Amino acid sequence: MTNNSLTDNYKGVFDGRIGFGKRPALLIVDFINAYITEGAPLYAPDVVSAVHETVDLLSLAHEKNIPVLYTKVLYNKNFRDGGIFIQKVPVLKTMVEGEPLAEIVPPLSPIDSDIIIVKQYASAFFGTSLAATLTSLGVDTILLTGCSTSGCVRASAVDGMQYGFRVIVPRECVGDRHPGPHEANLFDINSKYGDVVSKNEVMEYLKQLVGFDTPSAIASGYSTNGVLLKRKIMKALNGIRILDLTHMLSGPYSAMMLADLGAETIKVEPPKTGEGTRRLLERDPANSLNGFGAYYMTLNRNKKSVTLDLKSEKGLEIFYELVKTADIVISNFSAGVTKRLKVDYETLSKINPRIITCTVTGFDETGPGKDRTAFDMVAQAMGGNMSITGQPGNPPTRAGFPIGDLAGGLMATIGVLAALNARHLTGRGQHVDISMLDAQISLLNYMATMHFLSGIIPDKLGNGHFVHVPYDSFTCSDGYIIIAIIADNFWEALLTVIPADDLNTEEHKYQPGRLKNKELINRRLNEIFSTNTQKHWLEILQSARIPCAPVNNVQQAVNDEQVLFRNMIVEVQHPNGGSTRMPGNPIKLSDTHEETFTPPPLLGQHNEEVFSMLGLSPADIEALQTAGII
């Protein structure tokens, strides 16, 4: 079949102005080292022709900010250099076997936000994770091109269509080392393997895509077939999949932060009951919305939910299939539970060597305190925090918000991100072991160091400071303000704007003298500030650039103009209707800066979506539900 006759056969389709879809991606198949098999003939004319045609499409795709996907197939493990292929096609440079990515030199250099895919077999281009990634980018059409064998293009075309993408193949951009017209082998009139069009038609289509809106930053992740992605994204962790086994506060908080940053976060919950946070405040009319309490509503935005009985053999089998597609498994069970459930790192890394697991426990997985029960207040008490919180002479006081739990979640997030970068360097996953007590000891910071240096056990100081004076809260006529004088020049500035000539002495000029007379200075400042309002004094103090602030209550804090300007209060919908406001994402990135907040999921809301990725049919899923496995 010739190009002309093929065009004629498709003329009716073309005349009907076939739509390419609103959001395409350009897939360049086997472009980096196709045809390189030691001792095999090289069909250079066909390859070179495909290269030049593909370069045209590539350049235009980059110009229009269209996601570009490259693939590299490891055909021959003994291959070490490009040889004659490099000589014939000088614009290409192949990689040495074993390196993580192929290196492409100009004019084929991928821009930073392109996707580069390394696959072992031509028939395994698409994995569920890659398909989900493209779908999340809004891609509905794959422009399939490259210097590939017919089998590779066919496999990629079939895979793409199986995942619901429209596949378009510009015939001039498909190389073929097999004799005869490759179109005749690849395609039939029923478009079994995709729609074959001319390169000019694709070029004209691409030229119309001015203003095509795609994200522009970089992230790395892996699909089900070990595919490395560098791609256009809207959030920093797009393409990362997390299996969230957490409950209560510390674990869910960490998973929430990762979800806010773009990770696909799938809550794996017990059937019927779900994880424990679902029940907290669910029946409290003042602190719930349509059966979701404030805890669950806040901690589970941007997540999906599946139900799965991990204590059943079939449930564990399904979970292991999910692990093959995942990057991270995070949990905060008591020490030893992950091992008993067979979801520990040692077990899961045999299924997916790239998996990262993270556990948040009270004390750790192995130490002398590992079997103790731990919640937020336990960590605060044992970590020393309560002993230095509160007014002198009063009983120990816990922090106003659950810093024991939240610090554990923060450390888990940091640890997971560190492990992701390490995996980028080594290709291996690892276990992240977070102890809530460790986190509290870390937060003691310089106070613990001062103890080691001086031998003095710190005591409660109220709102004051070990060293700095004045550094405290002070009473105004309508509330409280704080002043934080941490340098001598701030003290000098303070004396220029308040009526306190009696404090302007040589002794008070420097920190040691002020520390010596701390009670006198604080008493005098309270007398001065109590004569007028917060607003009055804050305006005066801020004009002199003195560190100061009102002591806000929660209502005042969440309505502060700076807080609102930073999008730190966001509206989150309930899946059954209604919405509430809650704190937003404090991590503001300059490029991958999109902030979206999807509703926290109903129990098992995403069973069909997630389990169908594993090849389970609706009938299979219904049977699992009947059996109580999901």
Q: Please state, in angstroms and rounded to a whole number, the distance separating the CA atoms of residues 25 and 607.
A: 28
Banded pLDDT at 99 (limits 50, 70, 90): very low
Domain endpoint, select from 514, 531, 552: 552
Q: With beta carbons less than 8 A apart as the criterion, state whether 72 and 122 touch.
A: no
Residue 239's pLDDT is what? 79
- pLDDT for the residue numbered 355: 96
Find the length of the chain. 630
Question: Would you call the peptide bond into 470 cis, given omega within 30 degrees of 0 as the criterion?
Answer: yes
User: Can you tell me whether residue 59 is helix, strand or coil?
Assistant: helix
- Residue 271 near residue 351, CB atoms below 8 Å: no
Judgement on whether residues 340 and 205 belong to the same structural domain of the protein: no
How are strands ordered across the β-sheet holding 195-197?
115-119, 68-73, 24-28, 141-145, 166-170, 195-197
Task: Label the pairing between strands 328-331 and 303-307.
Answer: unpaired
Measured between its terminal Cα atoms, the distance across the chain in Å is 52
160 and 46 within one domain: yes
107 cis-preceded (ω within 30 degrees of 0): yes
Label residue 58 by pLDDT band (50, 70, 90).
Answer: low
Residue after which a domain boundary falls, among 519, 552, 585: 552
CB neighbours of 490 closer than 8 A, spacing ≥ 6? 546, 547
DSSP-derived 3-state class of residue 101: coil
Contacts of residue 229, defined as CB under 8 A and 6 or more positions apart, other chains included, come to 115, 116, 117, 130, 133, 219, 220, 221, 222, 223, 239
Domain limits for position 509: 471-552
Among 174, 207, 230, give the residue marking a domain's end: 230
Please indicate, yes or no, whether residues 537 and 436 belong to a single structural domain of this protein. no
- For residues 123 and 36, membership in a common domain is answered with yes
- Do 374 and 319 lie in one domain? The reply is yes
Residue 459 lies in a domain: no
Tell me the sheet residues that pair with 228. Answer: 222
Give the domain CATH number at 140.
Answer: 3.40.50.850
Q: Are residues 161 and 204 in the same domain?
A: yes
pLDDT at 514 over 50: yes
User: Does residue 487 sit in the same domain as residue 377?
Assistant: no
CATH code of the domain containing 358: 3.40.50.10540
- pLDDT tens, position by position, 172-222: 545 444 333 333 233 332 344 455 555 555 555 555 543 333 222 222 222
Any bridge partners for residue 434, and if so which? 360
> What are 475-497's pLDDT values in tens digits?
999 999 999 999 999 999 999 99
0.95 exceeded by pTM: no
User: Of the residues 152, 173, 358, 548, which is catalytic?
Assistant: 152
* Each residue's pLDDT tens digit, 515-560: 999 999 999 999 999 999 999 999 999 999 999 999 999 999 999 9
Q: Are strands 328-331 and 241-244 parallel, antiparallel or unpaired?
A: parallel
Nearest-angstrom CA–CA distance, 5 and 8: 5
Instruction: Please indicate, yes or no, if residue 379 is contained in any of the structural domains.
Output: yes
Asked whether residue 156 is domain-assigned, the answer is: yes
On whether residue 596 sits in a domain, the answer given is no
**What angle is formed at CA 512 by the lines to CA 506 and CA 513, rounded to 5 degrees?**
35
Q: What is the pLDDT of residue 623?
A: 97
- Tracing tokens 């065009």 back to the chain, one arrives at 7
What's the total number of domains in the chain?
A: 3
* 592 within domain boundaries: no
Question: What's the CA gap between 71 and 612, in Å, rounded?
Answer: 26
Q: How many CB atoms lie within 10 A of CB 36?
A: 21
Q: Which residue carries 């001792």 as its tokens?
A: 39
pLDDT of residue 130: 58
Residue 105 pLDDT greater than 50, yes or no:
no
Range in 98-107, 297-306, 558-567, 592-601 with the lowest mean pLDDT: 98-107
Residues 6 or more apart whose CB falls under 8 angstroms from that of 76 comprise 36, 37, 38
Distance between CA atoms of residues 444 and 462, nearest Å: 16
Radius of gyration for the chain, computed over Cα atoms and rounded to the nearest angstrom: 31
Q: Determine the pLDDT at residue 593.
A: 80
Q: Among 558, 566, 572, 561, which Cα is nearest to 587's? A: 566
* 116-133 pLDDT per residue, tens: 444 434 343 455 555 666
Residues 601 and 269: beta-carbon distance below 8 Å: no
* Contacts of residue 250, Cβ cutoff 8 Å, sequence gap at least 6: 332, 360, 376, 404, 405, 406, 408, 409, 412, 436
Domain of residue 526, CATH code: 3.30.1540.10
Mean of per-residue pLDDT scores for the chain: 76
Verify that 511 and 428 share a domain, yes or no: no
Q: Do 216 and 336 share a domain, yes or no?
A: no
Tell me the per-residue pLDDT of 146-175, one tens digit each, with 9 for 90 and over. Answer: 544 445 556 666 667 777 777 766 555 454
What does the pLDDT look like over 62-94, one tens digit per residue?
A: 666 666 665 544 333 333 333 333 333 333 333
- Mean pLDDT throughout 326-330? 96
- Percentage of the chain beyond pLDDT 70 is 64
In a shared domain, residues 614 and 541: no
Q: For residue 630, how many other CB atoms are within 10 A of its CB?
A: 26
* Residue 487 one-letter amino acid: A
The pLDDT assigned to 61 comes to 65
Using CA atoms, how far apart are residues 228 and 70, in angstroms rounded to an integer?
A: 10
Tokens for 578?
Answer: 């209604």
* 152 and 21 housed in the same domain: yes
486 in any annotated domain: yes
C-alpha distances (whole Å) from 408 to each of 129, 412, 447 are: 29, 6, 19
Spell out the residues 6+ positions from residue 158 whose beta carbon is closer than 8 angstroms to its own: 193
Which pLDDT value is given to residue 154?
60
Q: How far apart are CA 178 and CA 150, in angstroms?
A: 8
On whether both 530 and 615 belong to a single domain, the answer is no
CA 398 – CA 390 distance, rounded (Å): 8
pLDDT of residue 47: 47
Tell me: pLDDT of 333 over 50.
yes
Q: How far apart are CA 223 and CA 236, in angstroms?
A: 17
The answer to whether residue 275 sits within a structural domain is yes
Residue 527 lies in a domain: yes
What 3-state class would DSSP assign to 357? strand
- Does residue 446 register a pLDDT over 50? yes
Q: Is a pLDDT exceeding 60 seen at residue 324?
A: yes
- Active-site residue, 152 included: yes
Percent of the chain at pLDDT > 90 equals 57
Q: Give the rounded distance of the alpha carbon of 80 from its chain centre.
A: 36
Written as one string, the DSSP assignment of 231-290 is --BSBTTTT-EEEE---TTHHHHHHHHHHHTT-EEEEEE-TTT--GGGGTTTT-TTSEET
